[in-house]
Structure 1
């Protein structure tokens, strides 16, 4: 019987990764119309590369498991693997994570999945695996290059983040995940009217007594409705 070493298998998988990534991109774009199709093809490819890279950090290599990981990022939360119960299951299965990942929905409680959804962030779609542990500002600057790829802010991402930080502090959103990215997108796409709260829906978002996280999510929804922009 032919025996193939683990190192050889990993080498074969790595050589096949570009073709597989293109297949994943096509499959996810077809299934999740609200997400990848909102971006041009090169940005889609970068996002899929980030997603696959995040899965690979867990030692996930099988194609079925990689696709399942990407789907969980989209359908649950881009950072679903940070939820404590989910993380514990993955950490406790070193060497068998491909099999565990495909069975993960049945291995974790519904409460854990619900918590992952509540604490969802989209930044993980837009940053390289090497930046996962970076600070919020640094990751947001990297994310702007993809989310606002066609806007002037992409050429001055660091300055854009600084302006978003000042605005987040004024609005009481400084500690909310994704606030910097969402506010940067709002300032870019709505312009001065956003900074001055002159938009017709501004009172319904900022004056309705919503919790800070709900404000960020409401702004995210407005961006999707008004600009078909996934932020």
Structure 2
């Protein structure tokens, strides 16, 4: 009787054996489900993201998770909290020096760093992070603090415009120089202007009739940035 029982247990163990390919499929399914859950939570808790299509927001979340992992986060709780802060505070919240100093603190266990942010930082830090919010943060798939502004924008553009696999560094530099001359002084506004240069053409602001009407002193740089975003969304389905 015991021999028969042992044989049955052995058969069941063999049936439960997972090959590496099967394990990989299960991991991918769990990751996919995690992203879906995170997307639904963000759209529920952050009204600004409610109108964003599931496909676009899932893509943005993928970049956010990649950047969270670049800080050493591995648990879904920490990964999810990091991406939620991107939506609730600012996509580039981790570039605030005070916040980044904790996120990149190698002396602190990675999974305790998110909790340390709320325990150690005053409300003023979060306000400053929100005031300097930039959508560029969604497209930085790695810790971008160590890069200068030009390098960050170049890195983000490669992800923001999937049809352009390798943006020219020289072209982006020229675009940023012109953006600054036209009054686009923030990282966010320069990012959007450079994206327009890549999508519409390097001198789009001089050639496209709609651009000539938009880029006038009648609009503030903030309004111009918002209008360029709308134009990219309507013409190319790009959500920046």
Answer yes or no: same fold by TM over 0.5. yes
Counterpart in 2 of 1:23?
33
1:163 Cα deviation (Å)? Answer: 4.5
- 1:222 matched to 2:233: no
Instruction: Map 1:48-127 onto structure 2 (within 5 A).
Output: 48-90=61-103, 94-102=107-115, 104-105=117-118, 107-127=120-140
Whole-Å Cα distance in 1 between the matches of residues 238 and 175 of structure 2? 18
Query: Which structure: larger Rg?
Result: 2
Whole-Å Cα distance in 1 between the matches of residues 37 and 165 of structure 2? 31
Alignment check: 8 A CA contact 2:95 2:145 kept: no
Whole-Å Cα distance in 1 between the matches of residues 94 and 178 of structure 2? 30
1:181 Cα deviation (Å)? Answer: 2.7
Alignment check: 8 A CA contact 1:148 1:185 kept: yes
Counterpart in 2 of 1:171?
182
Whole-Å Cα distance in 2 between the matches of residues 170 and 129 of structure 1? 29
Whole-Å Cα distance in 2 between the matches of residues 141 and 202 of structure 1? 27
User: Alpha carbon RMSD of aligned pairs, Å?
Assistant: 3.8
1:184 Cα deviation (Å)? Answer: 2.9
In the superposition, relative to structure 1, how do residues 36 and 87 fare at CA in structure 2: closer, same or farther (>3 Å)?
A: farther
1:148 Cα deviation (Å)? Answer: 2.0
The alignment's TM-score, normalised by the length of structure 1, stands at: 0.66
Which runs of 5 or more structure 1 residues have no equivalent in the other structure? 1-14
Whole-Å Cα distance in 2 between the matches of residues 49 and 215 of structure 1? 29
Whole-Å Cα distance in 2 between the matches of residues 63 and 139 of structure 1? 26
Which runs of 5 or more structure 2 residues have no equivalent in the other structure? 1-23, 44-48
Counterpart in 2 of 1:9?
none
- 1:141 matched to 2:150: no
* Partner SS, residue 116 of structure 1: helix
1:67 Cα deviation (Å)? Answer: 0.5
The alignment's TM-score, normalised by the length of structure 2, stands at: 0.64
Work out the number of aligned pairs and report it: 206
In the superposition, relative to structure 1, how do residues 72 and 202 fare at CA in structure 2: closer, same or farther (>3 Å)?
A: farther
Instruction: Map 1:127-206 onto structure 2 (within 5 A).
Output: 127-129=140-142, 133-150=146-163, 154-155=164-165, 157-158=167-168, 160-173=171-184, 175-187=185-197, 194-196=205-207, 198-199=209-210, 202=213, 206=216
